[in-house]
Structure 1
């Protein structure tokens, strides 16, 4: 009792015991390994005192494999099953996975007496951990397989198919099961000649003619998944943006799709035929509220007029337009007169 009392009452003795115990503990077990055993994967019972059986990786705590996968823009947007060559852990063909030379069998581990667990004494602490002799398998190979060094696994080069989900982005890293193991894949997505991406939304350009922009029409444009017949409203200005809801890229981490924004660009003709030039000049003479000047035209009391009309063709077009306007005006006046006569007859009948 006196020994016990002196041991418990002496702070120096406790410090000495704690210090020597910690030193002994450090010499027996690597701190990094201890951390993994205490806070590692499931089956440890929180602090490594569980009686559950578990087995560490046959190859230790190696970091996860990593690779970079090249994708085209369309492959990333639509998703694709991509074939790759990769080193994977495969069952040893010689020992068929048991780790022993053919003709021999594993024997019970003497270090843990076939329990798969061993008791480690660390001064004031007692810890149960995975047996370092058999790595929790309860058995050891007296004659390890020469092909896999008793691990039961070999590294094999295999061609596997990776299901790339639709909507992955450039530089994005995902964890995927490949060939019986998990690897981290970083995607390198190529540029598209047609599309520009902003998250799940895509942008593209469409070039329309001057007539299509002024009068309206339709045009076929490429989409992410199929071609689209795009309606061009009349009076569309250059750089006008048309939104196609739900025609963008699939959202990886949520539901639905992004939008496809189409930016309209108007192709202005560079070289005009004589007929086209006459028609544009005739149109210009009918325009109002023009700021500045137009080459080849002058401002008169009658409005804009083309300076050079030596063959009279523009005057002919102008006369047709004037006559058409007068005819329409006459028709409108005639219709109003007829309406007035009808109203007068109706009033006369009532009286």
Structure 2
């Protein structure tokens, strides 16, 4: 009887964690073009919340584990990047109120290149998953500089999974920059930094196969191709202004990198799967090369519980 009560408690606790942890995880897309030497993007922002997608987008081991066992407690990360920005902000940037979206012009000045090394892996789809930044190949211990003035939002140590040692900086212009796989972090959350300040040392921590810096640029949690902002051949900015013009809800799909990135088109037909004995969302996600969070969103599931014979949409 004691063992049954323990199992029931763990099941309920895991279910509650699943509901809470996926509440704000959204997958977004940004449409980009160039107009009169001004960088111009259309950001696909969720209507009701702004999620940083820090763990959801880049630590897919969380979605692919069996949610019926204790591994959930090992891999689940309670951190600001999983929730809404305004809960943790010290400096508040443009945030939508009552469902309305701003039309913002971001001034890009005072830039300093993080590290003067060439790109070894570019932004875009690879191996059926999205690479949301660029990789700069560099030796372990290379000083990494802040790209713009701002405040450190996250300085997180993790030597084994995902981003590895990570620093996230919120900049005065509204952008955020991510610096991942560091061998050492040299700043703390809440610390004010200037463009060019050394915030860490390059390394090979996390899901990495050689020393490099993984560098991302984001706006309200939405990843922007850094190549659209930065000239990585000359280590300078391409434009001095970033104009945010429109918002819509969409799901990213593989697109070719051209001067204008077209908005993704929805799938022409849905695909369904009948749940079998022993199935769970993690197994189904792996079978169809997707994630648990996407399955839950497609099927409007509030928990990870599914029953035998249930019809699940997988695409």
TM bracket (short chain): under 0.3
Q: Which structure features the higher share of helix residues?
A: 1
Larger Rg: 1
TM-score, normalising length from structure 1? Answer: 0.19
With a CA cutoff of 8 Å and minimum separation of 6, indicate the structure with the bigger relative contact order.
2
Scaled by the length of structure 2, the TM-score of the pair is 0.20
